Structure 1
Amino acid sequence: MLCIVSFVVLLVLSVFSARHRKLLRQSWGCIARRATFRACDSSFADDVKTSLLAPLALRVPRLVRPASAGLTLAAWVTVLSLLLSGFVVARGGLNLLAYGTCDKQNPQACSLAADACSVMADEPGFWASLTSGDVVGAVRDEATSLADTISTIPGRFRTWDAADFAPEHASFVGGYREGLPTVLEVLDPGCVFCARLYRNIDEAGLSQHANVTYIVYPIMRAGEPQFASSHLIARYLTAIRVVETSDDGAPADDPTDWAILRHLFTGEKPGGMGWQAWFNDVASPAEAERQLQAWLTEAGYDDAAVAQIAELSGSDQVADLLEASRSTVEDEIRTVTIPTLIGGGGLHRGLVGVDELRSMR
């Protein structure tokens, strides 16, 4: 191990001074033999240890033996730290390539990632499992996570067609128009970055040049929505889609679910509080549902139609549709960030800027 530590140190020093390169070659020869399970045929490691311990041998000879053992232990710790650091860096690079973030457990913690809400932040990471005493689980989960990351990388280089992922009963801003490309967003009604992306799409005029649709995906934490009203809103949006899809399967020309998203992502309550913040932080379930029904009434639904939407939102049909959408996001799109956008032949994770959205038209 001392050979390896010396090699790393000498490698750095040799960049700045040629006089260390002879020792660098000696240390490399020692490492090469160790790597093939052979003993070093040089005294390099002993020479290094002797040079380090010589001053101590002159002053306190009785401490040479424990110091030698400590030096060996320190060398092991250093090498293991180097290997672990190298693994962490490599894993971060693979995650960045596969998911657009160096930390897929918590994408927002990576400065290189786009602004987004994290999908997997509640899952225990390697260190959390290790410190809890679950060594086997920590190693197993890390290996599984790495395998998933590697299997996701090819998706970065494929051509993505948003139409392939549009959900059943999909609705489109302004209705579906033949001949235009499809753009699809994966959104959570409670995610602030989804609201910002909605506004960017509007500013870019994307819906005038493409069929813009979405998959609603409430982010879950320990079986509960991360944002209090997200699952309720998702159920209502899905129920509206089902009701407004015509008998021949054609989407509505002026879909009400998009009007609700407009209220949610751009509107404010009297007093200036945004509707999204109110749904997330203030509204009780009953208050949130009453507001959704009020928006339905505003859109032209009578009491009977509102009651139909409310009943359908709690049905098995809507639950199955939401589960199918969840499966599409997790198993096919395989994103760890919300929002995620498919458009212009590519997969875009996190908040997408106005200029990039204009390029998809």
Structure 2
Amino acid sequence: MPVSAEHQFVAEELDSVLSFYAKTKLFGVLEADRKKYDYACVLERDCRRPLVSQVLWSHSEGVHKDLMSLLHDRNAPIKVYFAKDTTKHRLKISEIISNYRGDEALSPLLQGLKIIYLPSEFDADKQEEQRWMSNYISEIVCKDLLFATVFGRLIKSDVRVFANHNGPIGLKYAVLDEIIKNGLIHTPTFKSSIGYRSDGPTREIITMLSALGLVQRPDQTVLALPTIKGRMFMDLSKHLLYEKYNPDHMLGDLGSIKNMLFKPSGLEGFDYQQEIVESAEHCSSEYGRNLLEGMDFSEPVFYSNYDWKIFYDQLKDVPGFKKKTFEDVDCAFFLK
């Protein structure tokens, strides 16, 4: 069945937006088989996550088929449905979702589904409307897909609390970096690794990081492990460091990302971006941890795979650790 120009534009725009943000090297986009879908790809960041997408524009009778194909794709944890915003479409989509929510066996399939309604008056034959729609989709994808899912729900208040946390400058990055790389499994070893022996400041930092979700602490233990959000925050900090040292070799456009995380309100004069960059620099000068160490400056990549299994191997024999916490899980466990 032929599709409308609007349908085609929206389907292609998702690829354009993801490719645009991928230039920041905070995540990667790989091609995937699109035979069943209007768009499909694999997002690389921490783990490989297939993304599939359908577009509903002119053919409202296809709602049920579209949602079935998305919801029953068990290999794709991210399912995006762009829909022309009409009462008829909303009713049909709502009815199907309600039926799934009311069925105990089917309700888990709704996890990862994102419905994005688009203005129904959009005319793809008008260039000014194309530009507006492109910006609109870009903003929604950045906010509701990247930050809400791929980047671990990192938000502006996380950056502000981290930036405002006092203590030995650079220590909070040394602590976060060590937990991301090796976890906090054995306290004396951890203190030796970061080169800081005093308990108080370190304990306060770990409490702050845990409260923000930048690290996680398994129940009834003193352990600390990495999270997707914490890894994203560290990678963004590395990007900002690289940007400072290489002003003539910018990687992608961090404009929208900076606006979401660092833009102050009219009553604030504190520069959160400058604060975290300076703290990250002191992590190197004070604790010998160069956060950009080993990076290829000619083709830098800030994201990496999350080898969570190394933490399981270290934790399984720790007294008091509940082994069931990590049983029958994979990287997706850390995306929750």
Shorter-chain TM range is: under 0.3
Higher helix share: 1
> TM-score scaled to structure 2, two decimals?
0.24
The higher radius of gyration belongs to 1
> TM-score scaled to structure 1, two decimals?
0.23
